[in-house]
Amino acid sequence: MGRKIEAVIFDWAGTLVDFGCMAPLEALRKSFAERGIEVTDQELHRQMGLPLKEHVREILRIPEVRQRRKAACAESAEEEKELTERAEELLLESVRQYSVPKPYVRECLETLRKAGIKIGSTTAYTEDIMDLVTEEAKSRGVWVDEWFCPECSGEKGRPYPYMIFKNMQFLGISGVDRVIKVGNTPADIQEGKRAGVLTVGILEGSLAMGMTADDFEDLSGEAYEKECARTKQIFCEAGADYVIANLKELPELIRRLEAGEEEKISA
């Protein structure tokens, strides 16, 4: 027999809303550009899923960025703080427009609720940003039972497990073996692994895949399979227990888990 799943804990941007996780990418890109520092897409993607402050710090540690940074402006002790604060400002200005639910999200959450499964969430966003995201998402029919951000756990965001534990405590979950964490970045998977819960990576519209909705729609069958295989490998290397194409597949995965029919993927 399998196990009874009591809760699914979702990430937000790139998982429930914001196909491609564009809001934080654009905010970070603009924040660096305003200071004359070029950052490539690959460099932006490298540590996505971390709290914004930690993400900025990791970008500044990239050797190529350090070189461009020295050429663009003098380093200062305040620079990291200023880059983070500016990115937060840009996010607050634009995050509503990006808080559109991804395909199959409403249907998936409705199915989980009918099955008696509780719905939690974690995020790298701040409380102020999440207030806007959740308000906009709810107006479009998407909401969760509770969400926690790094501020709620002593600034210990991903990959620390504490936001997941906060969800479990609030939702009254009996054990980590009854929880699934769903996300779209390696940081989501690492968060779940450290918490001891099952982890699921989502391919379509994920930051790991790194495609806008328009680019994704233009994929041919062969190109789609290639991108899915590449992205799946990213999740496997991060330690994901399962990988699904989109949230339409999550209820069936849970059914198979509860029936004892599903085996973990191998990295």
- Provide the residue ranges of all domains of the chain, joining segments of one domain with +: 7-21+99-259, 23-97
pLDDT tens track for 122-180: 999 999 999 999 999 999 999 999 999 999 888 899 999 999 999 999 999 999 999 99
Q: What pLDDT is attached to residue 9?
A: 98
| The pairing of beta strand 242-244 with beta strand 198-202 | parallel
- Select from 3.30.70.270, 3.40.50.300, 1.10.150.240, 3.90.1660.10 the CATH code of 23-97: 1.10.150.240
Instruction: Express as a percent the part of the chain with pLDDT over 90.
Output: 68
Kindly tell me if the per-residue pLDDT of 266 is higher than 60: no
Cβ(239)–Cβ(193) under 8 Å? Answer: yes
- Identity at 48, one-letter amino acid code: M
Instruction: Name the fold adopted by 7-21+99-259.
Output: Rossmann fold (3.40.50)
Cβ(203)–Cβ(209) under 8 Å? Answer: yes
- Tell me, yes or no, if the two domains 7-21+99-259 and 23-97 fold the same way: no
pLDDT tens track for 182-216: 999 999 999 999 999 999 999 999 988 989 999 99
Mean pLDDT, to the nearest integer, of 42-49? 77
User: Quick one: three-class SS letters along the chain?
Assistant: CCCCCCEEEECCECCCECCCCHHHHHHHHHHHHHCCCCCCHHHHHCCECECHHHHHHHHHHCHHHHHHHHHHCCCCCCHHHHHHHHHHHHHHHHHHHHCCECCCHHHHHHHHHHCCCEEEEECCCCHHHHHHHHHHHHHCCCCCCCCECHHHHCCCCCCCCHHHHHHHHHHCCCCHHHEEEEECCHHHHHHHHHHCCEEEEECCCCCCCCCCHHHHHCCCHHHHHHHHHHHHHHHHHHCCCEEECCHHHHHHHHHHHHHCCCCCCCC
Tokens of 19: 């196909």
Q: What pLDDT is attached to residue 267?
A: 40
C-alpha atoms less than 13 angstroms from C-alpha of 156 in its C-beta half-sphere: 12
For residues 44 and 226, give the distance between their C-alpha atoms in angstroms, rounded to a whole number.
22
Kindly tell me if the per-residue pLDDT of 265 is higher than 60: yes
Q: Is the peptide bond before 24 cis (omega within 30 degrees of 0)?
A: no
pLDDT tens track for 84-124: 899 899 989 989 999 999 999 999 999 999 999 999 999 99
Kindly tell me if the per-residue pLDDT of 262 is higher than 80: no
Question: Cα Rg for the chain, rounded, in angstroms?
Answer: 18
Tokens of 74: 């003098």
Burial 139-168, CB ≥16 within 10 A → b, else e? eeebbbeebbbbebbeeebbbbbbbbbbbb
**Beta-carbon neighbour count of residue 138 at 10 Å?**
12
Alpha-carbon torsion 23, 11, 137, 245, what sign?
positive
Cβ(240)–Cβ(265) under 8 Å? Answer: yes
- Identity at 262, one-letter amino acid code: E
User: Of the candidates 27, 259, 24, 20, which has an alpha carbon nearest to the alpha carbon of residue 158?
Assistant: 24
Q: What pLDDT is attached to residue 73?
A: 59
